[in-house]
Amino acid sequence: MNLTINTDRLAGRLAELAEIGKIGRTGVCRLALSEEYKEGMDLVRKWMDEAGLKTRFDNFGNLIGRLEGKNPDEPAVMLGSHIDSQPSGGRYDGTIGVLGALEAVQTMMENGIQPEVPVEVISFCDEEGHRFGVGLFGSRGILGALEPGELERADEDGVTRREALIGFGADPEKLQESEYDTGKIASYIEMHIEQGPNLEEQDEPIGIVSGIAGPRWLGVTLTGISGHAGTVPMPMRQDPVTGAAEIITAFNSIVQTEAGAPTVGTVGDIKVSPGGRSIIPEKVEFTIDLRDSDLTRRDEYEQQLREAVKDISEKHGLDYEISDDGGTTPKEASREIMTIMSEESETMNLAPPVLMSGAFHDASHMADACDMGMIFVRSKDGISHHPDEYSTDEDIAIGTELLYKTMLRLVGSV
Q: Is 228 known as a binding-site position?
A: no
385 is in an annotated binding site: yes
| Distance from C-alpha of 84 to C-alpha of 95, rounded to nearest angstrom | 8
Is 103 annotated as a binding-site member? no
192 labeled binding residue = yes
Q: Which of 75, 56, 76 is nearest to 65 (CA)?
A: 56
Spatial distance between the Cα atoms of 313 and 310, rounded to a whole number of angstroms:
5
CB-count exposure of residue 413 (10 Å: 0-12, 13-18, 19+): middle
Q: Do residues 212 and 360 make contact, with C-beta atoms less than 8 angstroms apart?
A: yes
Q: List, in sequence order, every residue forming a beta bridge with 373; answer none if it has no partner.
A: 189
- For residue 8, the SS3 value is helix
- For residue 133, count other CB atoms closer than 10 A to its CB: 17
Cis peptide before 233 (omega within 30 of 0): no
Q: Which among 182, 183, 173, 121 is positioned nearest to 151, based on CA atoms? A: 173
Nearest to 58 by CA among 123, 11, 14, 7: 123
Distance CA 128, CA 133 (A): 9
Closest CA to 309 of 299, 319, 300: 319
- H/E stretch holding 314 reads helix 295-315
Cβ-contact 391, 377 below 8 angstroms: yes
Q: What is the DSSP string of 212-275?
A: EPEEEEEEEEEE---EETTTS-GGG---HHHHHHHHHHHHHHHTTSSTT---EEE---EEEES-
**Nearest Cα to 63, choosing from 76, 49, 44?**
44
| Residue 93 annotated as binding site | yes
What are the binding residues for Zn(2+)? 82, 93, 128, 192, 385
